[in-house]
Amino acid sequence: MEAALPHAWVLLSLAVATGLYMAWNIGANDVANAMGTSVGSGGLTLKRAILVAAIMEFAGAVLVGSHVTDTVRSGMFDPTRFEAMPLALGFLAALLSAAVWLQLATWRGWPVSTTHSIVGAVVGVGILVGGFDSINWAGVLGIVASWGTSPLLGGGIAYGLFRLIQRHIIESKHPLESTYRALPGIGFYVAFVLCLVMLYKGLKNLGLNLTFGRAALLSTGIGLVAAVVARAYAGRLRRRFEAERVARGVELSGDVDGGVPFVRKEHRDTLEPRAELRPALAAGSELPVKRWEHRREFEFEKVEAIFGAMMIVSACFLAFAHGANDVANAIGPLAAVVELVRSGEVATKAPVALWALALGAIGIVLGLATWGYRVIETIGRKITSLTPSRGFAANLAAATTVVLASRLGLPVSTTHILVGAVLGIGLARGIEYLNLRVVRDIAISWVITVPAGALGAVLCFHLLKLLFPVR
C-alpha cells in the first residue's frame, strides 16, 4: 500500500493492535450487559451465554456493521481542522486510552459505556491538539445529561413492565393459565419492539432509510405474525405441560373454586423471594396439604421456563444489534488511521474494510469469552436477584427505551439503560432488594468515564509524540 505519512507500517501495526485491544475490552465490558440478565437469572449457563453472544455479536458486526464510519465518534470535533500526522497519533491515543479505562472498569466489574469512553478520549485529544474551541460542547453536555436520562427511562419502563407481570401473572390465582392467555400479546409486543431496535440500532448501517412510520408499520406486521405464532405455541405448551402434570401426579384442578391466591414469603437466609401458598392445614397435621405445594412448584417452574425462553430471544437480538452498531467504537478510529496513512488527507468519514469489521468482531468475542464474566456477574447477580421473568422484563424495557430515545433524539447509553432497567426491577420488589453499595460504585464509574478517557488520551498522545515527533 502506498503511504502518504512517514512510519506508515509502524502506525498501521499500532492501529491494528490498539483496535483489537479496544474490541477485546468492548467484548469484556459492553457485551456482557446483554447476557448478564440471562446468566444471572439462570436462563443460560455462562458458557452457553458466551457461545450465543459470540455468534450474534460476530454476525452483527460482520454482516451488517457499517462499511463507512465517522472518523470522530459522535461528532465531538471537526477533524478537518487538524493536520494528518497529529490527528493519526490522536486517534491512536484515543483508542489506547479508552481501552485501558474499559479494562480497569471491567476488572472492577463496572458496566460502563464504551461509546462514552471513546468520546471522552477523542475530546481529550481534540482539546490538546485544537484547543477548547474545537470541541462540540453541546454534544458533551448531551452525554452528561444521558447519565441521568438513560437509567431513569430504563428503570421507569422496567418497573412498569414488571409490575404488570407481577399483577397479572405471578400474583394471579392461576399463574400458568394467565401466562397462556398473555402469550399472544407478549409475543406481539416483543416482536414489535425488537424489530424497531434492529431497524434503529442494528440494521441502520444497511442504509434502509426507513421513516419511523414505515418502520413502525413493518414492525406491527411482524408483531401480528408473532402473536399468531405465540398463540399456537401457547396451545402446544398447554398440551405438553398438561401431559407432564399428569405424569408427575400434580393436582391443578379440584383444589377449590377460583383457585388460591399466592402469598409472597421471604427466606430468612437470602434476599431471594419465593411465592409460597398458605392453604388450609391437612387434617390432623401442622403441614399444608401436599398437593398445594406441588401446584406452587409446578406452576412457577413452567411460568419461569416460558419467560426464560423469551428472555434468551431478546438477549440474542440485543447482542446482534450491539455487534452491528458498537463495533464502530473500535474500528472507527482504526479506519481513520488507515485512511490517513494511505491518503494523507483528513476527512469526516472513512471507509471500513471487511478485514477491519472481522478484526473488531473477533476482538469482541475474545473479550467476552475471557473477561466478560466480571460484568455479567455485576448485572446479573450483584445489583439485585433476578429470575427469568425479571430478566425478561429488564431486557424488554431496555429495548423499549432504545426505541423511544431514538425516536425522541435523546442521547442515551444502552449500558446505562440496561443497568437502570435492572434497578427498576429491584425497586418493583422493594428498595431493600437493591445492593446500594454496588449501585453507588456504578454511578461513580459513569461520572468519571469521560474525564478518565480524556486524561488518558492526553497522556498517551504525549507518549506517542516521543516515538513520532510532530510539530
| Contact in structure between 75 and 136 (CB atoms under 8 Å) | yes
Over the range 7-26, which residues count as b (16 or more CB within 10 Å of their CB) and which as e?
ebeebbebbbebbbbbbbbb
Residue 72 phi/psi, 5-degree rounding, is -120, 115
Q: 448: how many CB neighbours lie within 10 A of its CB?
A: 15
* Domain residue ranges in the chain: 8-467
180: which DSSP letter? H
∠ CA 98-330-104, nearest 5°, is 30
| Contact in structure between 95 and 121 (CB atoms under 8 Å) | yes
- Name residue 265's beta-bridge partners: 274
Measure the CA–CA gap between 269 and 118, rounded to whole angstroms: 43
Return the closest-CA partner of residue 420 out of 154, 58, 174.
Answer: 154
pTM for the model: 0.83
Would you state the pLDDT for residue 471?
A: 58
Asked whether the CA dihedral 326, 403, 226, 179 is positive or negative, the reply is positive
Return the closest-CA partner of residue 303 out of 438, 458, 178.
Answer: 178
**Would you give per-residue pLDDT tens digits along the chain (471 residues)?**
555 677 788 889 999 999 999 999 998 998 777 788 888 888 888 888 888 888 888 888 887 676 666 656 557 777 777 788 888 899 899 999 999 999 999 999 999 988 889 889 989 988 988 888 888 888 888 878 887 888 999 999 999 999 999 999 988 878 899 999 999 999 999 999 988 887 766 566 666 677 788 888 999 999 999 999 999 999 999 999 988 887 776 665 444 444 444 333 443 344 444 444 444 444 554 444 444 455 667 888 899 999 999 998 888 888 887 777 777 788 888 888 888 888 777 777 777 788 888 888 889 889 988 888 889 889 988 999 999 999 999 999 988 888 888 777 776 788 899 999 999 999 998 888 999 999 999 999 999 999 999 999 999 999 999 888 765
User: H helices of 30-136, where?
Assistant: 31-40, 46-64, 84-108, 114-130
| Contact in structure between 223 and 188 (CB atoms under 8 Å) | yes
Q: Note the maximum CA span of the chain.
A: 93
